[in-house]
Each structure stands twice: as structure tokens, then as C-alpha cells.
């Protein structure tokens, strides 16, 4: 709901700031950036108002908000590898889009469509990978059950069959065998 409120602010603000409607000047891409920052600011403010309440402090026993180097070190140990992987993937994606964009507009449009479908197919696998990483590296470790592995295999098989429809029959036994 809060993200919806941010979107409800972003869409009309984009329109008026990009095109210069009513009393707002025409700012183009700068207007889009201002609208996005304003909507994210609203989202941050609303989440902060919901999270940092006296009731939550009592419920979750949050009394000391001082810097804890032990927790910070653990967060960095688990967060930096994932952030680095994500950054390299975004760099590769951006580099690819720029290279294809140099070929031509039609090729860029087609590659953007294909990459959008690709992200729909492989995003669930990324989520499972992150969840499994958190489970395995938790302190104490949370046991990983075969259900998550089965779901990963099924998701990979589904994504592969979407990407390569002729191979859908070949991949079907993989899903059944992993149960």
C-alpha cells in the first residue's frame, strides 16, 4: 500500500514535471528524476512512521540504537558478496544494452523484449538462491529441506522450457525425478 502511494505520487508528478504542465516548468529527464526522488522520499517517510513507533520498540525490545560493530561485520560478510554479484550482473546487462543499441533501434527494442522475458523467467531462481544462502549461513544454521531444492529444479525446468519450447518434453522428467 505504501509503495502504491509512492507510485500514485510518482506518475502524476512525472507527467507534470517532464511536460511542464500547470505551474511546473518543463524539465524533461530532470523532472523524471525529481519525481522519482520525491516518491521514494514519501515511501521512506511513511515506512519510517510505521516502523519507528513506541509499540514496535516494546514489542521487538529495541532500546539501544547505537552502532554495533559485530552486527555490522556480519551484515557486511553476508551482504557484500550478494551486492558484488548484483553489481557485476547490472554492469554486464548495461554493457550489453549499449552494444546492441549501437547496432540499431530495432535490434535494441527486440533485445529489450527478450531481456524482459528472461528476467521474468530467471528472477524466481535468483530469489531461491538468496533465500537458500540466508538459510545455510544463518547462525545457528537453518536446515534446508529437499522441498526448496525441488522447487528450484522445477523453477529452472519451467524457465528452460519457456526459453526453449522444443526441450520442454526433455525437461519434464527432471521435475518428476526430483520429487
**What are the per-10-residue average pLDDT scores of the chain (179 residues)?**
88 90 88 92 92 82 78 84 83 84 82 73 68 57 53 61 56 45
Task: Compute CA 124 distance to the chain's CA centroid, rounded to the nearest angstrom.
Answer: 11
Query: 151 Cβ partners below 8 Å, 6+ apart?
Result: 128
- In this structure, what C-alpha cell is assigned to residue 177? 525425478
Is the pTM of the predicted complex or chain greater than 0.75? no
> What distances in angstroms separate CA 123 from CA 23, 115, 126, 133, 155, one per listed residue?
42, 11, 5, 15, 10
Question: What are the b/e assignments for 86-117, b being 16+ CB within 10 Å?
Answer: eeeeeeeeeeeeeebeeeeeeebeebeeeeee
CB distance 42 to 5 below 8 Å: yes
d(CA 62, CA 94) in angstroms, rounded, equals 41
d(CA 130, CA 97) in angstroms, rounded, equals 26
Task: Report the pLDDT value the prediction gives residue 173, as an integer from 0 to 100.
Answer: 46
d(CA 176, CA 111) in angstroms, rounded, equals 33
Cis peptide before 105 (omega within 30 of 0): no
Residue 25 φ/ψ, nearest 5 degrees? -75, 155
Task: Report the pLDDT value the prediction gives residue 174, as an integer from 0 to 100.
Answer: 44
Task: Report the pLDDT value the prediction gives residue 46, as an integer from 0 to 100.
Answer: 94
Task: Report the pLDDT value the prediction gives residue 61, as an integer from 0 to 100.
Answer: 73
Task: Report the pLDDT value the prediction gives residue 74, as an integer from 0 to 100.
Answer: 84
Task: Report the pLDDT value the prediction gives residue 78, as an integer from 0 to 100.
Answer: 78
Amino acid at each position: 500500500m505504501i509503495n502504491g502511494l509512492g507510485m500514485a505520487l510518482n506518475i502524476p508528478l512525472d507527467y507534470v514535471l517532464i511536460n511542464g504542465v500547470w505551474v511546473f516548468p518543463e524539465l524533461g529527464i530532470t523532472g523524471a528524476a525529481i519525481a522519482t526522488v520525491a516518491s521514494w522520499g514519501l515511501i521512506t517517510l511513511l515506512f519510517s512512521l510505521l516502523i519507528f513507533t513506541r509499540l514496535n520498540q516494546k514489542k521487538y525490545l529495541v532500546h539501544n540504537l547505537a552502532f554495533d560493530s559485530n552486527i555490522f561485520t556480519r551484515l557486511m560478510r553476508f551482504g557484500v558478496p550478494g551486492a558484488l554479484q548484483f553489481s557485476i550482473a547490472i554492469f554486464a546487462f548495461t554493457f550489453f544494452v549499449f552494444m546492441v543499441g549501437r547496432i540499431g533501434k530495432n535490434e535494441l527494442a527486440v533485445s529489450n523484449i527478450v531481456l524482459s522475458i528472461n528476467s521474468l523467467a530467471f528472477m524466481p531462481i535468483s530469489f531461491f538462491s538468496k533465500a537458500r544462502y540466508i538459510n545455510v549461513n544463518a547462525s545457528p544454521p537453518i536446515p534446508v529441506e529437499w522441498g526448496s531444492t525441488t522447487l528450484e529444479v522445477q523453477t529452472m525446468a519451467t524457465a528452460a522450457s519457456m526459453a526453449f519450447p522444443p526441450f520442454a518434453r526433455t525437461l519434464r522428467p527432471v521435475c518428476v525425478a526430483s520429487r
